[in-house]
Amino acid sequence: METNIKSKAFEELAGAAAGLMNPAIEAWKAAGRKVVGYFCSHVPVEVMTAAGVLPFRMRGTGSTGTELADASFSSINCSFPKHTFNQALRGEFDFLDGLICISSCDHVRRIYDNWKQQLSTPYLTVMSLPKKNGQAQVDWYYEEINILRAGLGEFLGVEITDDRLRGAIQQVNETRRLQRQMYELRKRDRPPISGAEALAVMVAGNSLPRERYNDLLRTLLADLENTPGRSGYRARLMIVGSELDDPEYLQVIEDQGGLVVTDSICFGTRTMWVDCSETEPDPVRALARYYIQERPACPRMNGAQPARAKFVQDMVKEFAVDGVVGERMLFCDFWCAEHYMNKADLKEAGIPFIQIDREYILSGKGQLQTRIQAFLETMGR
């Protein structure tokens, strides 16, 4: 990734985002410590952090095909689980000591079945995620988190106490606060960091030890204060969608003159825009309420669309956004319906919107460039 940021911290963060394995994971494993993978940002990373393992958010970075995974999925499956599982079959995830799957969607849920049948990871479990965000669903997820807490603790031979959970919540909240400080810099007329660079920083946080990542964020924030702001862009854009972990996708958009200044994606604001309570007496209750009710919702949660629409429009105002790009993975049912409603809501609010469907790995660059150019022109940009 080309960058104007002169920062050793950014170099390390961008390097961690560019691949699955990184030197920090190698050092962690060499010290005899364990790494546990997980799918979906609804999985409570605080439980893994409290258990003393390194949480690794699953992605298919570096995948070039799905030739090994195709036999395990249908032709109308989202390509994210295909590429991720293909990487697993190629041995790219052999460094994992465990894996936590979740019923976030039918496509990702199927990974658990195939993983269980074809791979031998020491610890493998699946969490049941509610489809609504009422009190009954908070109570449901409270039990799910306790099941995870007990199972992971038994596997590791560790008691995941309330005190350890409270410490983990504080540590992860510190990450969220530092990430929000980075986003604050993107509100400037001349932001010192681009959308592609910011996404690389966010992705890196899902594969680095928490203390190391927080230290790098603090250094990066200081370095950004001395980084020249970006000017000459044609429009300030917001990206809204699902699983997006490839900074190059945003780089293509920004190369056409659109600067991505904020987002509503599950590697972005939905993971850090609010904190988990540090004062709730029962930390598991705090986590259940946070992951089901308090953080910005995704279309997985039925009945929360008005709140999601408000969140997007609030971000448009807060970051002075000129237009919204809705990205959707092909065959994603949730985001197909969501963007249909987004288009209507944003049109009513007078906010330009474009929906772009994509595969997991970046392809059809020329088409993406053309559509973004046309979008900017229709905005008078």
pLDDT band at 2 (very low <50, low <70, confident <90, very high): confident
**Structure token pair of residue 61:** 């970075």
**Structure token pair of residue 235:** 């429009």
Q: How many CB atoms lie within 10 A of CB 3?
A: 15
Residue 1, pLDDT score: 75
User: How much is the average pLDDT of 314-341?
Assistant: 95
Nearest-CA neighbor of 235 among 208, 260, 204, 258?
258
The DSSP annotation for 111-150 comes to: HHHHHHHH---SEEEEE---SS-SHHHHHHHHHHHHHHHH
pLDDT band at 363 (very low <50, low <70, confident <90, very high): confident
pLDDT band at 380 (very low <50, low <70, confident <90, very high): confident
Residue 175, pLDDT score: 98
* CA 241-63-26 angle, 5° bins: 100
Write out the H or E segment, with its range, that includes residue 78: none
pLDDT band at 156 (very low <50, low <70, confident <90, very high): very high
Q: Which CATH class is domain 1-381?
A: alpha beta
DSSP code of 21? -
How much is the mean pLDDT over the chain?
A: 96
* CA 131-173-279 angle, 5° bins: 85
Nearest-CA neighbor of 219 among 5, 2, 1?
5
Tell the residue number behind the tokens 């699946």, with chain if given: 126
179, 229, 261, 265 from 174: Cα distances, Å = 9, 26, 22, 20
The amino acid sitting at 36 is V
SS3 for 239? Answer: strand
Beta bridge partners of 323: 237
- Give the Cα separation of 375 and 352 in Å (integer): 8
Quick: pLDDT tens for 94-115.
999 999 999 998 889 999 999 9
DSSP code of 104? S
Quick: pLDDT tens for 157-215.
999 999 999 999 999 999 999 999 999 999 999 999 999 999 999 999 999 999 999 99
> Do 250 and 239 contact (CB within 8 A), yes or no?
yes
- Give the Cα separation of 263 and 242 in Å (integer): 10
Quick: pLDDT tens for 225-268.
999 999 999 999 999 998 999 999 999 999 999 999 999 999 99
Nearest-CA neighbor of 297 among 42, 39, 38?
42
**Structure token pair of residue 207:** 């594969």
- The number of CA neighbours under 13 Å toward the Cβ of 223 is 15
The DSSP annotation for 219-281 comes to: HHHHHHTTSPPP---SEEEEEE-S----HHHHHHHHHTTEEEEEEESTTTGGGTSSPPPSS-S
For the chain, the domains span 1-381
Beta bridge partners of 326: 240, 355
pLDDT band at 291 (very low <50, low <70, confident <90, very high): very high
CA torsion sign, 372 to 260 to 192 to 12?
A: negative
User: Which pTM value belongs to this model?
Assistant: 0.97
pLDDT band at 329 (very low <50, low <70, confident <90, very high): very high
- Give the Cα separation of 328 and 142 in Å (integer): 30
> Do 47 and 155 contact (CB within 8 A), yes or no?
no
Long-range contacts of 293-300 (CB under 8 A, 24+ apart): 293/133, 293/138, 295/270, 295/271, 296/264, 296/269, 296/270, 297/133, 297/270, 298/242, 298/266, 298/270, 298/334, 299/334, 299/335, 299/337, 299/338, 300/42, 300/104, 300/105, 300/129, 300/131, 300/334
Question: Terminal CA-to-CA distance of the chain, rounded, Å?
Answer: 25
User: How much is the average pLDDT of 287-307?
Assistant: 94
Over pLDDT 90: what percentage of the chain? 94
**Structure token pair of residue 66:** 């799905």
